[in-house]
C-alpha cells in the first residue's frame, strides 16, 4: 500500500499484521511517475509479482459552485484523481506484461460524474468520470498481455471523505437514507471485498464491467478485454 502520510500507513500495516496478514507500506505521490515505478518495484521485490493493483488515491474539493472553484483546487484534483490513475496504470501494466500470470487492475471511481451528480460536486465528478473513461479506453490495449483495467463506480463509503463540511456521522447517516439506494454508506470492508472479487472471478480472457457499490444503481454493460462479444 502507498500514501503520502507515513503515520497512517504504519497504522494500517499494524492492523493488517494483527489480523494475520502481510503488508508493505511505502510513502509515494501518485502524481509522480517515478514514485509509481518505484512502488511497483518495491512490491515485486517483496512479494515476487504484482497480481492485483487497486488505484484508490483521490481527493475532493467540493461544496462550492463550479464557477467559484479555484484553479489550484481544480488542478489538485486532476493531478491526484486522473493523472495519478494514469501513472499508476502505466507502471502496473509494465510489470504485468513482464510476468506470465498477468494481473488485474481496479481503478476506484465514483458514481458521481459518470452516473449522477450532486450540487457542489461538478469538478470532482468530472475527474471521476474521467477515471471511468480512461479505464474503458485502456482495456483493449492492456488485455492483450493479460492485464485487466477495471473501473469501479463506488458510492459513498465510511470515510471522512464522504462527510460534508460541518456534517457529523449521524447527519451523514440520515442523509444517506434519502440519497443512497443502499440506505447507508458502504463499509470499507465491502469496498475492499468487491475490489478483490475481480481477481477471483475473472477468467482469461479478462472480462470487466463498471460496478457500483451503491445497491440499486444499474451497472454499465459488461465489456470484454481482448475477446469478441
Catalytic residues: 124
The C-alpha cell 447507508 sits at 184
User: Is the alpha carbon torsion for 168, 84, 198, 41 positive or negative?
Assistant: negative
Using CA atoms of 60, 61, 63, 67 in order, give the dihedral in degrees to the nearest 10.
-130
The Cα–Cα gap between 50 and 31 comes to 20
* CA-wise closest residue to 110 among 227, 210, 3: 210
**Which residues does 84 contact at the CB level (< 8 Å), separation at least 6?**
30, 31, 55, 57
Whole-number Å distance between alpha carbons of 39 and 36: 5
Contacts of 83 (CB under 8 A, 6+ apart): 30, 31
Amino acid at each position: 500500500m502507498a500514501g503520502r502520510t507515513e503515520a497512517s500507513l504504519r497504522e494500517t500495516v499494524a492492523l493488517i499484521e494483527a489480523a494475520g496478514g502481510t503488508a508493505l507500506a511505502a510513502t509515494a505521490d501518485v502524481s509522480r511517475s517515478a514514485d509509481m515505478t518505484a512502488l511497483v518495484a518495491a512490491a515485486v521485490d517483496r512479494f515476487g509479482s504484482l497480481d492485483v493493483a487497486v488505484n484508490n488515491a483521490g481527493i475532493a474539493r467540493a461544496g462550492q459552485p463550479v464557477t467559484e472553484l479555484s484553479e489550484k483546487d481544480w488542478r489538485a484534483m486532476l493531478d491526484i484523481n486522473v493523472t495519478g490513475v494514469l501513472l499508476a496504470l502505466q507502471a502496473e501494466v509494465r510489470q504485468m506484461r513482464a510476468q506470465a500470470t498477468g494481473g488485474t487492475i481496479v481503478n476506484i471511481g465514483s458514481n458521481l460524474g459518470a452516473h449522477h451528480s450532486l450540487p457542489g460536486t461538478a469538478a470532482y465528478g468530472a475527474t471521476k468520470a474521467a477515471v471511468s473513461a480512461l479505464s474503458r479506453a485502456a482495456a483493449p490495449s492492456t488485455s492483450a498481455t493479460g492485464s485487466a483495467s477495471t473501473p469501479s463506480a463506488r458510492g459513498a463509503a465510511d470515510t471522512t471523505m464522504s462527510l460534508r463540511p460541518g456534517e457529523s456521522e449521524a447527519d451523514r447517516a440520515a442523509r444517506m437514507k434519502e440519497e443512497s439506494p443502499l440506505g447507508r454508506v458502504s463499509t470499507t470492508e465491502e469496498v475492499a471485498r468487491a475490489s478483490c472479487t475481480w481477481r477471483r472471478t475473472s477468467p482469461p480472457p479478462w472480462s470487466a464491467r463498471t460496478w457500483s457499490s451503491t445497491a440499486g444503481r444499474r451497472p454499465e454493460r459488461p465489456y470484454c478485454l481482448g475477446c469478441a462479444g
